[in-house]
Amino acid sequence: MTSEVIAVMGAGQLGLMLHEAALRMGYRCRFLDPAPDACAGRVAEHIVAPFDDEEALDRLIDGATVLTYENEHIPTEALERASARVSVAPSAQALRVAQDRLHQRELLDRLGIASAPHAPVSSVEDIAEALRMVGTPAIIKARRGGFDGRGQAMIHAAEDAPAAWEAIGQRPAMLEGVVSFRRELSIVGVRSQAGEMRFYPVVESVHERGILVRTRAPGPGLTTEIEHEAQRIARAVAEALGHVGVLAVELFETPRGLLVNEFATRVHNTGHWTIEGSPTSQFEHHLLAILSRPLGTTDLVAPSIMCNIIGAIPPSVIRLRDRPVEGVHVHLYGKEPRPGRKIGHVTCTAPTLQEAEALAGRVVPELAGAEGGIPTGGIPADAAE
Ligand code: AMP
């Protein structure tokens, strides 16, 4: 019996981990991605073509059970077109909102969910006007296409506006006030075709220069109120979108409560710990949801610290290959090392979060960081793509 095919737009590391989960569940993924060296292509069928290539899309969905995506930088028209022939989840409508920062904010505003003060900008003149509203310092973020701090620039004073506009490539953007947050949190949940939702515990995430470096699961010292508030936000967003699959909401914890930074209608870096830390990983859950199968369990079974490997593989990770350590799980994506690029992650699990942190500090000190849990956050000043 040949396994059923799940068609996936995008073949990066999220696709790779979706494929690994699919294999365990008796399925396999087939990918479409214009990058010939996209890492999921090393282990699965990979059609190398632009996302808007109609003939390639036909080949992608040929005989597939369902079509999904692993990043939001794909044309919604392709999903719409495919939906005439195959089940598509999450939907084109959900992606249309998720792939545009301004549309995300419009939805949050409509739902009465708090976020940083923001205003749309499409010219240098707009920035001056918007700065009067959101104040300084502020961050300009391209509406579409940015990730990991790219497509963003800091504005400390009105004089910075022309350089910032230049830095983001003069694209339609959103200006946003800088939030002075206590820390960053993230909630990852899954919504089934029938509308049932389950949530993993809220995690604490630490970013440096706009890139996620570490996730602590569960987030230390979180109250039930915060868990419930995060769930309420994620549920409201998922329901408004009619979302099916995994959804991640990134949050700022502030003295005035939670503010949403952004959300993603796909599997997410802040959910990687679930591969080892929960009975059903986010990747398995995404597949279960889009395949209309019953959801699994989102309990935390092993407190985890997930550290991203960014730019280059450190010596400690290379040593782990020859000398594995119990509770330390290395995931290398097979990507070419490049500054600022996520090329793998390491998850350390232990009976308590403190022990998991101590383990990470001992085994992968370059990745574990020295800070005591209160991140400084911040945006790279020169982070344009
Ligand atoms: P983003 O690309 O919007 O996810 O931003 C990446 C990271 O930059 C966030 O996780 C924060 O660490 C930081 N950041 C983004 N927006 C803001 C903001 N309005 N205020 C403070 N820090 C921010």
Q: Count other Cβ atoms within 10 Å, centred on residue 234.
A: 26
Please work out whether the CB of residue 377 comes within 6 Å of at least one atom of ligand 1: yes
Q: What is the pTM of this model?
A: 0.94
Confidence of residue 369 (pLDDT cuts 50, 70, 90): confident
Q: Given ligand 1 and candidates 133, 139, 385, which is best to mutate, with the most ligand atoms within 8 Å of its CB?
A: 139
Give the whole-angstrom CA distance, residue 82 versus residue 66: 10
Whether the Cβ atoms of residue 245 and residue 290 lie closer than 8 Å to each other = yes
Report the pLDDT averaged over residues 259-265. 97
Going through the chain in order, the beta strands assigned E by DSSP cover 4-9, 27-32, 45-47, 66-69, 87-88, 118-121, 138-142, 152-155, 173-177, 183-191, 197-199, 203-208, 211-217, 245-254, 257-264, 304-310, 328-332, 342-349
* CA of residue 341 to ligand 1 center, whole Å: 17
pLDDT of residue 145: 85
Please work out whether the CB of residue 210 comes within 6 Å of at least one atom of ligand 1: yes
Question: Mind listing the pLDDT tens digit for each residue in 29-62?
Answer: 999 999 999 999 999 999 999 999 999 999 999 9
Q: CA 36 → CA 10, 32, 186, distances in Å?
A: 11, 10, 32
List the Cα angle 253/250/50 in 5-degree steps.
160
Question: Mind listing the pLDDT tens digit for each residue in 83-141?
Answer: 999 999 999 999 999 999 999 999 999 999 999 999 999 999 999 999 999 999 999 99
Q: Given ligand 1 and candidates 207, 249, 268, which is best to mutate, with the most ligand atoms within 8 Å of its CB?
A: 207
58 phi-psi bin (left φ>0, alpha ψ -120 to 50, beta other): alpha
What tokens were used for 336? 């070419």
* CA of residue 5 to ligand 1 center, whole Å: 36
* CA of residue 122 to ligand 1 center, whole Å: 20
* CA of residue 137 to ligand 1 center, whole Å: 13
pLDDT of residue 370: 55
Taking the alpha carbons of 105, 183, 70, 288 in that order, is the dihedral positive or negative? negative
With 70 as the cut, is the pLDDT of residue 374 above it? no
* CA of residue 18 to ligand 1 center, whole Å: 26
Give the whole-angstrom CA distance, residue 237 versus residue 265: 10
Whether the Cβ atoms of residue 297 and residue 279 lie closer than 8 Å to each other = yes
Confidence of residue 1 (pLDDT cuts 50, 70, 90): low
What tokens were used for 126? 């707009």
pLDDT of residue 380: 38
Phi and psi torsions of 93, nearest 5°:
-65, -40
pLDDT of residue 377: 38
Distance between terminal CA atoms of the chain? 45
Close Cβ partners of 11 (under 8 Å, ≥ 6 residues apart): 31, 32, 33, 35, 38, 39, 40, 41, 44, 46, 70
